[in-house]
Structure 1
Amino acid sequence: MSTPGQPKDPAAYAGPLSGRRAQAARNDHAILSAARTVFLQNPHAPVAAVATAAGVGISALYRRYPGKEQLLQKLCADGLRTFIAVAERHSDAQPDPFTALKEFVRGIVDADVHALTVKLAGTFTPTPELGELSARAGTLAQEIFNRAFEAGALRADADANDIPMVFEQLTAIRLRDEARTAALRHRYLDVLMDGLRSSQGAEALSAPPPSSQELGERWIAPDAIMD
């Protein structure tokens, strides 16, 4: 079984595949799984490291992805599609708006797509397709946040741009034991979400939330930023 946010195992595809197509599907699954692991550790790693980790020849990788740019674009697109699927699943699954928001955040953290997305930001050129997927993901996340905010479930100085920061803090937790990693992420999800919950006597937050421009700037390669 593939974990959320990772490429689907070719064995789970519906319908039989020919020998050559089955091998291509297995190679693609191995490449994408290896790429996630390699680039989480080092987003600047060469594609040769991905081929080695996947157990395929470099020529097999290049037949599927002409270069690192295309491989990174594919990983990011898969991550955004997973984000959208999780958001759609939790958009109205809970009658309580705060619970809906918290379960949405939990779903994204459990899918573990945000960690890779942040690692890859600024390392490749986003495509129009990625722009459309990102816009859709942002709209869904905003709607879930707005529902909780308008219901009075969140503190008055909470902002939708706080949520990506929550994702980042939680997905930064990574131990060798995957079960322990998940447990600790859920522990601190409780802590962080309680910090956003509306409560009497809560002190004002000491700094404003990140702006959309600040979040977007991270997708611009450093050498492309002009003074």
Structure 2
Amino acid sequence: MTSAPMSGRKAQAARNDELILQAARAVFTADPGAPIAAVAERAGVGISALYRRYPSKEALLQKLCGDGLRLYIEVSERALADDGDPWEAFAGYLRGIVDADSSSLTIKLAGTFTPSEELFPLSGRASELAVEVHRRAVAAGVLRPDVTVADIALLFEQIASIKLGGEERVWELRHRYLALAMDALRVPPAHRELPGPAPRDEELAARWVPRT
């Protein structure tokens, strides 16, 4: 059974909502102190349309973090449902969390707003799953036992801090350094070819060019 197509007005509202959330993520992970008007401008929607959906900046931040937690939960549950090779299940979890980029929200938004009541059970569930994914990998003998859940959380944040070049290059570099870290996490240690080319000198130097 397929769901009925949305009306033109509802479809436009859904498109606007997606534009607003994408814009909010980009704006607030770049500058948590940015005004909500910057989100409307980047999304290309009127400020009134934004306020109809999100009555305050805090509500928008709560939504972003809630969506990030749900995605984290989804990736974690998928890894735990994988009954195949234990290392590949854990590696899929690591790649999935890097792709979800929920750590960028943690880096930039933690402590900048009051969590809603909805966020507490989501956060608790995400933490439980992270512990279980970690426990299973250690029990299977594929993850170094001296690596903790907190180590993995900070590893995700380190990788999320990589922002060099355009969007495609950012993802390429993040997966390169994730692969490098995974070789150190694995038991026995692995030494595979790293994905993507290393940063070029000109890419590193470009960070010092003033933005116009």
Shorter-chain TM-score: what band? 0.7 to 0.9
Is the counterpart of residue 110 in structure 1 residue 99 in structure 2? Answer: yes
1:14–1:50 Cα change, 3 Å: farther
Local SS of the residue matching 1:174: coil
Is the counterpart of residue 48 in structure 1 residue 37 in structure 2? Answer: yes
- Alignment gaps of 5+ in structure 2: 190-212
Deviations 1:53-87 (CA, angstroms, capped at 9, x unpaired): 11111111111111001000000001111111111
Q: CA deviation at 1:193?
A: 1.9
**Aligned runs of 1:209-224 on 2, under 5 Å?**
none
Q: Is the 8 A contact 1:106 1:186 kept in 2?
A: yes
1:120–1:103 Cα change, 3 Å: same
Counterpart in the other structure of 2:15: 26
Counterpart in the other structure of 1:206: none
Q: Is the 8 A contact 1:114 1:167 kept in 2?
A: yes
Counterpart in the other structure of 1:218: none
For residues 156 and 89 of structure 1, the distance between their equivalents in structure 2, rounded to whole angstroms, comes to 22
Is the counterpart of residue 146 in structure 1 residue 135 in structure 2? Answer: yes
Local SS of the residue matching 1:49: helix
Q: CA deviation at 1:14?
A: 5.0
**Aligned runs of 1:1-227 on 2, under 5 Å?**
14-93=3-82, 95-199=84-188
- Kindly, what percent of the aligned residue pairs are identical? 58
> What is the identity, as a one-letter code, of the residue corresponding to 2:7?
S
Q: Is the deviation greater in 89-98 or in 114-123? A: 89-98
For residues 14 and 140 of structure 1, the distance between their equivalents in structure 2, rounded to whole angstroms, comes to 32
Runs of 4+ in structure 1 over 6 Å off: none
TM (norm. structure 2) is: 0.82
- Alignment gaps of 5+ in structure 1: 1-12, 201-227
Q: CA deviation at 1:161?
A: 1.2
Local SS of the residue matching 1:128: coil
> What is the identity, as a one-letter code, of the residue corresponding to 1:155?
R
> What is the identity, as a one-letter code, of the residue corresponding to 2:54?
Y
> What is the identity, as a one-letter code, of the residue corresponding to 1:187?
R
> What is the identity, as a one-letter code, of the residue corresponding to 1:151?
A
> What is the identity, as a one-letter code, of the residue corresponding to 2:128?
T
Aligned length in residues: 188
